[in-house]
Chain A
Amino acid sequence: AQSVTQLGSHVSVSEGALVLLRCNYSSSVPPYLFWYVQYPNQGLQLLLKYTTGATLVKGINGFEAEFKKSETSFHLTKPSAHMSDAAEYFCAVTTSGTYKYIFGTGTRLKVLA
């Protein structure tokens, strides 16, 4: 069975500071990993994904994540937070051949001026 753990339901950072949102997964087969973002009153939007190949993946809006198999992690980072990054972020896992995502509980990011 697969699972996802997002540490920290709420994270606050100052504008311009590093953003680090943590995601650990459990999977008995090679995982596909995703980060989605939900801005207020909007749907879930894909930020980035890892399927195979390069373990450091870059996404939209300056975000990136690194797949670390040994640590079963897929943490999301951004060097410098912007006010517009305030949203809820979801990590998800699935496997090749299935679209059935397992989501984490989400992390709400607050950016302080």
Chain B
Amino acid sequence: EAGVTQFPSHSVIEKGQTVTLRCDPISGHDNLYWYRRVMGKEIKFLLHFVKESKQDESGMPNNRFLAERTGGTYSTLKVQPAELEDSGVYFCASSQVQGQGYTGELFFGEGSRLTVL
């Protein structure tokens, strides 16, 4: 079974440019999350989708960040325009719904490293 996949693995852009990160969750996982780790700091929650709906976007830094999950499958996270402080590793995670088999575990991708120059 394929795990959570993220693309690109590394992106280097100039300040002011736009970047779109993509995440493909594990098949059948309705819950999809984005987290971010700025260099040397903790991994922080950005937002949570249940299927195509945003359940919680309280962690989104500002309106330069836009996340979508069309059709409840893959998700994209767009940063426009990018600023220096947006540099970091963006992790995507997915999980099954609560109820039978609920474990609380998130399955993470390898992350997309974003460097803004």
Point out residues on A near B: beta carbons under 8 Å: 4, 9, 32, 34, 36, 41-46, 49, 51, 90, 92, 94, 96-97, 99-106
Is there an interface contact between A34 and B104, defined as CB atoms closer than 8 Å? yes
Enumerate chain B residues within 8 angstroms of A51, measured Cβ to Cβ. Answer: 103-104
Contact with A along B33-48 (1 / 0, CB 8 A): 1010000111111001
Number of interface residues of B (CB under 8 A): 26
A61 to chain B, nearest CB (A): 16
Question: Which of chain A's residues has its CB closest to B91's CB?
Answer: A44
CB contacts between A and B, total, < 8 Å = 58
Give which listed residue, A43, A96, A101, contacts B45 with CB less than 8 A. A101
Bound state CA distance, A104 and B110, in angstroms? 18
Q: Which residue, of B33, B91, B105, has the highest number of chain A Cβ atoms within 10 A?
A: B105
